[in-house]
Amino acid sequence: MNKIAVYILLFFFISSSLTVVFNSVSATELFADSWNTKTPMKQARYGLGVVAVDSKIYAIGGFATDGSVVSVNERYDPNADVWITLESMPTPRAWFAITACQGKIYCVGGTIYDKMERVTFRVNEVYDTVTDSWSTKASLPYKGTNVQANAMDDKIFVIIDGKDLYMYDPVTDLWTKKSDLPETPTGGSLFVSIVVDGKIIRNSLKFTYRIVD
């Protein structure tokens, strides 16, 4: 993966984590190099989980624009340009790990704010896209403030705070501890992960804020 692709991934991760994403939706034709505005989501929110299954896009959970946590589950059909509301996620939360495996969507971990205090979860909830139903599976062994999930070889790999790696087997409903990842300059506070050629790539970014009057 070249440096430009890495920077683009990091930009999207930081944008979704630190800025309010309203219910607008845009699409681009990669070869035409143009953008089009599509039908917006029904529920405006940020910190949500987004994943694609069978050419449909699912937008789940997150924070509403007033800061309240939501469990909304919406599906977008790019061909019809239509959103529909599906069965809500059982545990309302944001900033959780999300990935699709064998036609099901796994939402692991996550965060809410209770009286300005950040509360993190180990919950592992699975959405069946065929039956429009949720089930609860074995919880993540321990919780973290930043979790990322990737599906590979019918297994789910979850990275916690940029370092700890666990593998989940959907068949046995068991978690297995894998080798820790190397330490990052940010201490795992900011990272993105993606599967490329059968390998999980983790990229971290160290940055500072600067306020200009």
Domains contained in the chain, number: 1
210, part of any domain: no
Residue 155 belongs to a domain:
yes
Residue pLDDT tens, the chain, 213 long: 443 343 333 333 333 433 344 466 665 555 678 899 999 999 999 999 999 999 999 999 999 999 999 999 999 999 999 999 999 999 999 999 999 999 999 999 999 988 888 899 999 999 999 999 999 999 999 888 889 999 999 999 998 888 889 999 999 999 999 988 777 665 555 667 777 777 777 666 544 333 443
Structural domain boundaries, residue 170: 3-23+38-204
pTM: 0.79
Residue 49 lies in a domain: yes
Q: Is position 124 within any domain?
A: yes
Whether 200 is covered by a domain: the verdict is yes
Pull the structure tokens for residue 193. 């992960």
For residue 16, the SS3 value is: helix
* Nearest-angstrom CA–CA distance, 127 and 96: 14
What CATH number is attached to the domain comprising 168?
2.120.10.80
- The sign of the torsion formed by the CA atoms of 112, 19, 183, 160 equals positive
Task: Report pLDDT for 26.
Answer: 62
Rounded to 5 degrees, what angle do the CA atoms 128, 157, 187 make? 130
Domain-located, residue 115: yes
